[in-house]
Amino acid sequence: MNLQNQANFIWSVADLLRGDFKRSDFGRIILPFTLLRRLECVLEPTREAVLKRYDELKESGLDLDAILPKVAGQRFYNVSRYTLANVGETETRANLEDYIARFSSNARACFDYFNFTTWLDRLAEANLLYLVVQRFAGIDLHPDVVSNHEMGLIFEELIRRFAESANDTAGEYFTPRDVVRLATTLVFAPDHEVLTGEGVIRTIYDPCCGTGGFLASGIEQVHEWNDKARIVPYGQELNPESYAIAMADMLVKGYDPKNIKFGNTLSDDQLPLERFNYCLANPPFGVDWKKVQKAVTDEHQIKGFDGRFGPGLPRVSDGSLLFLMHLISKRRFEDGGTRIGIVLNGSPLFTGGAGSGESEIRRWILENDWLEAIVALPTDLFYNTGIATYIWILSNHKDPRRKGKVQLINATELWTPMRKSLGSKRRYISDEQIAIIARQFADFEESETSKIFNTTDFGYRRITVERPLQLAFHPRDELRLEALQADKVWGKLDEERQQALLNALEQLEEKYLSRDQFFKAVTAALGGKLAAPEKKLLQKHLGEHDPEAEYCKAKGAFEPNPDLRDYENVPLSESVADYFAREVVPHVPDAWIDESKRDPKDGAVGIVGYEINFNRYFYKYVPPRPLEEIDAELRQVEREIQDLLREVTE
């Protein structure tokens, strides 16, 4: 059976559960039973040898965890006489619990994360446990029938269905394999020569590893080039079911499951001292980090650049850039450095203006020259969303020709339609299309879909442009006087002072084009000085901008009008003065730059910001259709509507 049919067959167990269990519970039963059957099938060839050796050693006091895995030919073992086929109909639950308890501790932990015993109790109460066990005992998941790679795909399909039935977000737990394959190709291909050499030992890491798809695909790809290469996987995962599958997958493939950690990577990095050759990740898109805000903020403020989040923090509504900074913190400085591939949505490219957390993170990455390329992917590639996504490729050991450069690849049109949609996934990237993208990346040349920029091309200085305050005053305007008297500050004046001010304003002219003359006139009519709060109050309600008015001054300098304040983004490659003279002065000759607004890092005028506007670089103008063509189409539609109406009325 093909993989889809295999997954259908396994999921058909849900037919037994309907009525006694909610749809959202199906996966919590089907997934651990599938895992149990897989482990059983993997151990079957050496089962009798393990049991025999166990009987010989069980009273010896020796460490069985050091001996029996070698007999089993795996990193785990089981010493129970039970299997799914012989647990029996009468003592099913007790026998099944004994079976699971006799797995080695590393395999048994997988079922703990599924909270499996609770579901066994509920199945037993519903008189369904034996029926479910029988059904799974008949599913053939032997490695010679279903490879490790295929088993990973089956698990992902089961999780997708589980997520759909629970109205959950499947895409948070795994990444479509076509996207994984593209990312791993871009990350590993530049190291092809090294990875095909003798005695290769490299590490690979995913901080939100889900079911382990990125890790598995990365290892598989390297082994396609060099089956003698040793790739050691590491990861961390927050979702317990996904973590259990990832850990089991590592067990079955002969890797140490201790390298896969459980917990929230952002608040509790459980591999703090490890550094890796390759990092791959697909963090959840647009998920907030409120739950870990205190831990992340404390690390940023206390450790600074000695921690993971030194450059800054993104807005709390999207934690994608936190994962990117975390990966960068895992870089090695020997063995060719570290290569990173991470899948992100569009937000990290441009969200946040100059000086914001997001902009400062981009600035840190680009000014350190770690970013190699960004690939824009087609929409509708993921199971739970159709949004635009991007693969960022980073390295702290760039090829000399890429120094100071960033390549942008527009692969949005390289997709193939799915024969059948899987959730929101309606498209995939074929192997041929992956090869096209990889070739563009390797060639590092300009084309319609590949652009090469200097790292500074994405930077700018945000300057503050001020214009002088010009106020005209209307002391006898009824609406303005009503607003004046409704102000809270006016209410704090005593009635005598209020009346004195109103009487003074009645004596003035209709309009003043000079603030100084207006206040002199008020003072003269009042017969006394105006307090500063009173001046502010009168200016607020009786003054308005008027280009004919006299410039207002404070301490001998023109006073800026906050309502006319504007900002300009000056490319880093340009002089601020030259840009201002060319782009601003011809339109507003009386404007000036507020030179007090300086970048805190380099001290120059203007706050430095960075953004990567993909659409701008690949925009293609499409002229509108001729009006004659549109008119002809409208007339044709009108005729069709009239024909339909005649059919109805005749």
Angle between helices 116-125 and 92-101 (to 10 degrees): 170
Tell me the per-residue pLDDT of 512-569, one tens digit each, with 9 for 90 and over: 999 999 999 999 999 889 999 999 999 999 999 999 999 999 888 999 999 999 999 9
From CA 227, how far away is CA 248, in angstroms rounded?
22
Please tell me whether residues 86 and 157 are part of one structural domain. Answer: yes
The terminus-to-terminus CA distance of the chain in angstroms comes to: 57
Q: How confident is the model at residue 648 (pLDDT cuts 50, 70, 90)?
A: confident
Alpha-carbon torsion, ordered 618, 429, 387, 454, to 10 deg: -30
Q: How confident is the model at residue 603 (pLDDT cuts 50, 70, 90)?
A: very high
Determine which helix (DSSP H) or strand (DSSP E) holds 230, and give its type and residue range. strand 230-237
Please tell me whether residues 347 and 290 are part of one structural domain. Answer: yes
Contact (CB, 8 A) for 208 and 281 = yes
Q: What is the CATH number of the domain that holds 364?
A: 3.40.50.150
Helix (H, G, I), strand (E, B) or coil at 560: strand
Eight-class DSSP state of 299 = H
Please tell me whether residues 521 and 377 are part of one structural domain. Answer: no
Query: What are 571's strand-pairing partners?
Result: 460
Tell me the per-residue pLDDT of 174-228, one tens digit each, with 9 for 90 and over: 688 899 999 999 999 999 999 998 989 999 999 999 888 899 889 999 999 998 9
Mean pLDDT of the region 449-463 = 97
Determine which helix (DSSP H) or strand (DSSP E) holds 571, and give its type and residue range. strand 566-571
Please tell me whether residues 215 and 105 are part of one structural domain. Answer: no
Please tell me whether residues 67 and 145 are part of one structural domain. Answer: yes
Tell me the per-residue pLDDT of 575-598, one tens digit each, with 9 for 90 and over: 999 999 999 999 999 999 999 999
In a domain, 368, yes or no: yes
Please tell me whether residues 440 and 548 are part of one structural domain. Answer: no
Determine which helix (DSSP H) or strand (DSSP E) holds 366, and give its type and residue range. helix 357-367
In a domain, 261, yes or no: yes
Determine which helix (DSSP H) or strand (DSSP E) holds 92, and give its type and residue range. helix 92-101
Eight-class DSSP state of 21 = B
Q: What is the pLDDT of residue 154?
A: 86
- Tokens at 551, concatenated: 């410039």
Out of 105, 131, 165, a domain closes at 165
Tell me the per-residue pLDDT of 266-304, one tens digit each, with 9 for 90 and over: 999 999 999 999 999 999 888 899 999 999 999 999 999
Please tell me whether residues 58 and 186 are part of one structural domain. Answer: no
In a domain, 458, yes or no: no
- Is the pLDDT at 262 greater than 60, yes or no? yes
From CA 584, how far away is CA 458, in angstroms rounded?
21
Q: How confident is the model at residue 334 (pLDDT cuts 50, 70, 90)?
A: confident
Q: What is the pLDDT of residue 383?
A: 80
Mean pLDDT of the region 95-116 = 92
In 3D space, the residue among 437, 373, 375, 376 whose CA is nearest the CA of residue 405 turns out to be: 373
Out of 497, 527, 558, a domain closes at 558
- Assign residue 82 a region (left: φ > 0; alpha: ψ between -120 and 50; beta: otherwise): beta
Strands 278-281 and 201-206 come out as parallel
CB burial of residue 486 (10 Å; 0-12, 13-18, 19+): exposed
In 3D space, the residue among 116, 137, 111 whose CA is nearest the CA of residue 10 turns out to be: 137
247 Cβ contact list (under 8 Å, min separation 6): 106, 109, 110, 113, 257, 260
From CA 374, how far away is CA 150, in angstroms rounded?
30
Please tell me whether residues 108 and 254 are part of one structural domain. Answer: no
Helix (H, G, I), strand (E, B) or coil at 218: helix
Please tell me whether residues 128 and 215 are part of one structural domain. Answer: no
Tell me the per-residue pLDDT of 388-436, one tens digit each, with 9 for 90 and over: 999 999 999 999 999 999 999 999 999 999 988 877 889 999 999 999 9
In 3D space, the residue among 326, 390, 400, 325 whose CA is nearest the CA of residue 363 turns out to be: 325
The angle subtended at Cα 204 by Cα 365 and Cα 66, nearest 5°, is 150
In a domain, 624, yes or no: no
Contact (CB, 8 A) for 222 and 231 = yes
Q: What is the pLDDT of residue 242?
A: 86
In a domain, 375, yes or no: yes
Domain that holds residue 546: 471-558
The total number of structural domains that make up the chain: 3
From CA 279, how far away is CA 391, in angstroms rounded?
13
Out of 531, 558, 585, a domain closes at 558
For the chain, what is the total number of helices (H) and then of strands (E)?
27, 19
Eight-class DSSP state of 383 = S
- Is the pLDDT at 167 greater than 60, yes or no? no
In a domain, 192, yes or no: yes
Chain-centre distance for alpha carbon 87: 45
In a domain, 455, yes or no: no
Please tell me whether residues 229 and 319 are part of one structural domain. Answer: yes
Buried b (16+ CB within 10 A) or exposed e, 51-77: bebbeebeeeeeebeebbbebbebbbb
With a pLDDT cut of 90, the percent of the chain lying above it is 74
In a domain, 392, yes or no: yes
Please tell me whether residues 416 and 552 are part of one structural domain. Answer: no
What pTM did the predictor assign? Answer: 0.85
From CA 149, how far away is CA 477, in angstroms rounded?
80
Please tell me whether residues 303 and 430 are part of one structural domain. Answer: yes
